[in-house]
A and B are shown apart, each in its own frame.
Chain A
Amino acid sequence: MKRLALALALATAASGCAVNGLAFRNDDRVDIVAPKDRAEVTLPVTIRWTADDLDDAGGGPFFAVFVDREPIKPGQSLRAIADDSCNRTAGCPDLAYFEDRYVFVTDENAVTLDALPRKGSSSRESAQDRHEATVILVDAEGRRIGEAAYTVEFTLEDR
């Protein structure tokens, strides 16, 4: 019994921790310049960033902007966002599919949001209409590169 517990603990530790490929220093290659953090905005809102020293080998990187949702895990593909029926359909997911779910994939340094997700009436954020956009890097296959994530928070004025 003790051995089993030890084995389980070690397996959990092994699966849950790693030493390679982890980011201990801040990755400042991307910097969101607009809107300012905690700024008040009106629709449409443009999220703009600068990007330096990005490795463009393999056709990437691309930027994926997640609005009011957690980004995918490092190494995971954007396909993880798609549901089963989409995955069974040829050509799905595509950019439009992602945009419907407030995930914007681009190779440019800005995205413009014409609409923002409506949150549940009981959620604290909806009271002030607060939103959050997270930018991550993905490769040509749509896989997340590294752990770096860049976030900005903003409030929508007079919705």
Chain B
Amino acid sequence: MAAGNSSKPDDVTRAELDTTVIVGAVAGDDVVKDRQHVEQIHRAEALVETLEDTQERLRESARRVLGISRTAEEPPPLAETVKRSGVGWYPLVALGLLIVVDQFQSWGFFILGPEISWALGVGRGTLTFLVLLKTLAVMLASLPMAAFVQNRPKRDVVAKITAFGWAAATLFSGFVINVWGVLLVLVTDGASTGSVEAVHRPLLMDSYPPEGRVRALSGYRGAAAAGTIVAPLIVGLVTVLGFTWRGVFVFMGILCIGAAVLALRLKDPGFGRFDLERVRQTVRADAGAETAASDDRQLGFFEICRRLLLIPTMRKLMAAWAVFGMLFSPMLTFLFFFLDEEWNMGAAARSLFLAGVWVLALPALAVFGRRVEAMFRDDPGSVVRVAARVLLVFVAAIIVAALSPWFVPMLVGFAVVFAAAALIQPALNIVMLSIIPPYMRPHASALSGIFFAGVGGISGLLLLSGIDRRFGIGGAIVSMSVPAILAAWVLRTTARSVNDDLDRMIDEIVEREEIEILRLKGQHLPMLSCRHIDFSYGQLQVLFDVNFTVDDGEMVALLGTNGAGKSTLLRVISGLGLPSKGSVHFRGADITYVDAERRLDFGITQIPGGKATFGPLTVLDNLRVYGHSLGRTTKALERGIEATFEAFPRLDERKHQLASTLSGGEQQMLAVGKAFILQPRLLLIDELSLGLAPKIVGELLEMVRRINATGTAVVLVEQSVNIALSLVDHAYFMEKGEIRFDGAAADLRGRGDLLRSVFLEGATKGLEI
């Protein structure tokens, strides 16, 4: 280990260091020691590599336990699957009932808006604005709900409480007397409806085994369609019985309360008992172990959201949801105007029409559910391709419906449009929710709702309003075929990445379980292990399949030419950049998508190259800022500041001076002070020596060595090969985003083929080498 290696000079000139490199004059004992040390790390690394073999070996069996049999055989009857689930039909029926009544208030305001406006003397524009606020509430509420149920199997509680919430909002809609009352009931309903997005589908996914999930989701979508049929009929019926809009809301509110009571027996089955647990069991069976993985470092809310949006399939699906929302969300509004203006239908006739066009969706979902279930078992990607084709049917039907001069073809056309729209949703949902771990499903579901209704719905409304003004309502309806074709194209491209992302999820579960098993078996794992890291800045990929390992207390040099990707790799380790592929494990835990702030708590600290200090702050304040993560433990902070001043007396002399007035060397000293304050387990130093005088470099290196001697592992990124190799036993060499060398520092000295590029680069900068 480099720590305490007394053969390395304490205070050297750059020329002296460089001479050492060029001659390669290192004592033979040191070379042997370096090699032994690196071999030891490679052994630990090899242990991690065995995980990759296990992942590959178990991938197929994991797919099978997830219900993907790669055969187009018919799935078992749903009744049998439901029976096997142990929870029976209840979750599907209860959630189905909730989604039916959830729509009552919306439909009430949609159909009875004019009556409400006349009765309360509230403008229709105001009512429309309040309904928009409700939509906003639905979107905004779904994310906090996802955050609440994250890592906490309380989705049933959220579903039940919110059901009573919207039941109360529906009931009290019948008692509002002014605009504030309307605002209250609409926003309450919207906020509680957020649970439909965040928890209903994830609950269904965990209630039923993979072999019945498409049909469960289709059944749930069918219930939503049934709600769309029932709600206008209830409005019509209650009105015919002589009640005002108030009576309608009271009646619907009572029905909502009844449904909420019927759903009281809902229970959260826990996260992933039919998928995550099954895969874990497969890994355990393979390893002959009986232990379970401990979830000691779960991702936080924003980490999950960010993680989701890094999954290629998920990104494309979100884009598809947005485009789908763009055409579907405004459709009801435009269809209402279309029926009014082109077919001279009154409010009652329009409501009946809307109820009628959904009828076809019910048998379509029943047939489609079973068919898609079989497809999903064979190839999950094919489900997305089918959804793309259904969208094309949607396009054809909407053109026929909008342009037909006859009523029946128009009615049939819209029935096909709505049936197609209903079919697409379970198809996209099953893919979206199957390629991610169960605890991320509420987030994915909530995000899809935001992309659908928020991003898509609002932009669709704006876009179609413009077209409506220019080409009329028929033109606006026909123009919906454009986003539909766009969505179909997005879906076709999505199909390609589905299987890769499913395998990636399986690999992550397997890897996590395997590491836990190894840890419990007492196997030595490296402190930091980056595996197969790819990283891109936008479209520009800068890291390619990088493997990088650091052991406890080790000092490692990361060398390479300018632009090789060294600093980027440090950013991936410290969490400032997230990889597009690969994993980062720290002390056995997967931290690939953990926020940089949390990594600081785990003991990872980075000193960024050349910009590690805050210029407008004094030296003392800089050190205090470094210690902000220590919270209220001021004693630790004071001790750290003392240690810094002890190590760098010059900083003590200038402690009240602004950092910007310090020399370059002093600023770097101040930056190194971060390590004294935070006492990390792993210290990442980027370009410590850049532009500094050799004497200063010597002082700083001495401090780095001391820090390392206390047990802190150090990764030293340097362009100066001489300086770096004077300090370490283990070195990596990077070129064009790839690791070209991983071995003993002494061996790297002999690799002129690699080092030449660095020397040449140094020479062009006028450095002495």
- Which of B242-250, B517-525, B601-609, B668-676 is the interface stretch? B242-250
Contact A147/B120 with A24-B246, A26-B244, A37-B346 known, Cβ cut-off 8 Å: yes
Q: Please, which residues of chain B bring their CB within 8 A of the CB of A23?
A: 119, 244, 246
Of chain B, the residue at the smallest CB distance from A125 is: B341
Give per-residue flags for B115-127: 1 if the beta carbon is below 8 A from chain A beta carbons, else 0: 1011111111000
Task: Specify which of B124, B180, B341 is in contact with A70 (CB 8 Å cutoff).
Answer: B124
Q: Please, which residues of chain B bring their CB within 8 A of the CB of A26?
A: 239, 242-244
Q: Confirm or deny: A142 has a beta carbon within 8 angstroms of a beta carbon on chain B.
A: no
Q: Please, which residues of chain B bring their CB within 8 A of the CB of A148?
A: 119
Complexed CA–CA distance, A23 and B177 (Å): 11
* Cβ-defined contact, B244 with A25, below 8 A: yes
By size class, the interface of chain A is 20 to 34
Least CB distance from B632 to A in Å reads: 23
Least CB distance from B115 to A in Å reads: 8
Give per-residue flags for B5-30: 1 if the beta carbon is below 8 A from chain A beta carbons, else 0: 00000000000000000000000000
Complexed CA–CA distance, A149 and B243 (Å): 14
Of chain B, the residue at the smallest CB distance from A15 is: B180
Q: Confirm or deny: A46 has a beta carbon within 8 angstroms of a beta carbon on chain B.
A: no
Residue among A13, A19, A74 with most chain B CB within 10 A = A13
Q: Please, which residues of chain A bring their CB within 8 A of the CB of B118?
A: 70-71, 134, 136, 149, 151
Least CB distance from B167 to A in Å reads: 15
Tell me the B333-391 residues at the A interface (CB within 8 Å).
337, 341, 344, 346
Least CB distance from B158 to A in Å reads: 19
* Cβ-defined contact, A16 with B176, below 8 A: yes
Q: Confirm or deny: B172 has a beta carbon within 8 angstroms of a beta carbon on chain A.
A: yes
Task: Specify which of A17, A25, A122, A149 is in contact with B119 (CB 8 Å cutoff).
Answer: A149
- Which of B181-189, B487-495, B685-693, B724-732 is the interface stretch? B181-189
* Cβ-defined contact, B184 with A18, below 8 A: no
By size class, the interface of chain B is 35 or more
* Cβ-defined contact, B250 with A12, below 8 A: no
Of chain A, the residue at the smallest CB distance from B181 is: A16
Complexed CA–CA distance, A19 and B176 (Å): 9
Q: Please, which residues of chain B bring their CB within 8 A of the CB of A124?
A: 337, 341
Contact A128/B120 with A16-B178, A18-B175 known, Cβ cut-off 8 Å: no
* Cβ-defined contact, A17 with B181, below 8 A: yes
Q: Please, which residues of chain A bring their CB within 8 A of the CB of B337?
A: 124
* Cβ-defined contact, A70 with B121, below 8 A: yes
How many A-B pairs fall under 8 Å by CB? 91
Of chain A, the residue at the smallest CB distance from B125 is: A70
Least CB distance from B243 to A in Å reads: 6
Residue among B114, B174, B177 with most chain A CB within 10 A = B177
* Cβ-defined contact, A38 with B244, below 8 A: no
Contact A71/B121 with A16-B181, A23-B246 known, Cβ cut-off 8 Å: yes
* Cβ-defined contact, B250 with A24, below 8 A: yes
Q: Please, which residues of chain A bring their CB within 8 A of the CB of B239?
A: 26
Q: Please, which residues of chain A bring their CB within 8 A of the CB of B341?
A: 124, 127-128
Least CB distance from B161 to A in Å reads: 16
Complexed CA–CA distance, A117 and B344 (Å): 21
* Cβ-defined contact, B174 with A24, below 8 A: yes
* Cβ-defined contact, B344 with A38, below 8 A: yes
Q: Please, which residues of chain B bring their CB within 8 A of the CB of A153?
A: 346
Q: Please, which residues of chain B bring their CB within 8 A of the CB of A70?
A: 117-118, 121-124
Q: Confirm or deny: A22 has a beta carbon within 8 angstroms of a beta carbon on chain B.
A: yes
Q: Confirm or deny: B469 has a beta carbon within 8 angstroms of a beta carbon on chain A.
A: yes
Contact A15/B178 with A24-B250, A70-B124, A72-B121 known, Cβ cut-off 8 Å: yes
Of chain B, the residue at the smallest CB distance from A18 is: B177
Complexed CA–CA distance, A151 and B176 (Å): 21
Q: Please, which residues of chain A bring their CB within 8 A of the CB of B183?
A: 12, 16
Complexed CA–CA distance, A33 and B744 (Å): 99
Least CB distance from B113 to A in Å reads: 12
Least CB distance from B75 to A in Å reads: 48
Give per-residue flags for A1-41: 1 if the beta carbon is below 8 A from chain B beta carbons, else 0: 00000000100110111110011111100000000011000
Residue among A9, A19, A73, A147 with most chain B CB within 10 A = A147
Q: Please, which residues of chain B bring their CB within 8 A of the CB of A17?
A: 172, 175-177, 181, 184
Task: Specify which of A18, A127, A151 is in contact with B114 (CB 8 Å cutoff).
Answer: A151
Q: Confirm or deny: A76 has a beta carbon within 8 angstroms of a beta carbon on chain B.
A: yes
Complexed CA–CA distance, A16 and B172 (Å): 10
Of chain A, the residue at the smallest CB distance from B345 is: A38
Given contacts A22-B175, A70-B121, 15 further A-B contacts (CB under 8 A): A16-B179, A16-B182, A16-B185, A17-B172, A22-B174, A22-B177, A22-B246, A23-B244, A25-B242, A25-B247, A70-B123, A73-B178, A74-B119, A124-B341, A128-B341
A positions within 8 Å CB-CB of B? 9, 12-13, 15-19, 22-27, 37-38, 70-74, 76, 122, 124, 127-128, 134, 136, 144, 147-149, 151, 153
7 closest residue pairs by CB, A with B: A16-B181, A73-B121, A149-B118, A16-B180, A147-B119, A24-B247, A17-B175
B positions within 8 Å CB-CB of A? 114-115, 117-124, 172, 174-185, 239, 242-244, 246-247, 250, 337, 341, 344, 346, 469
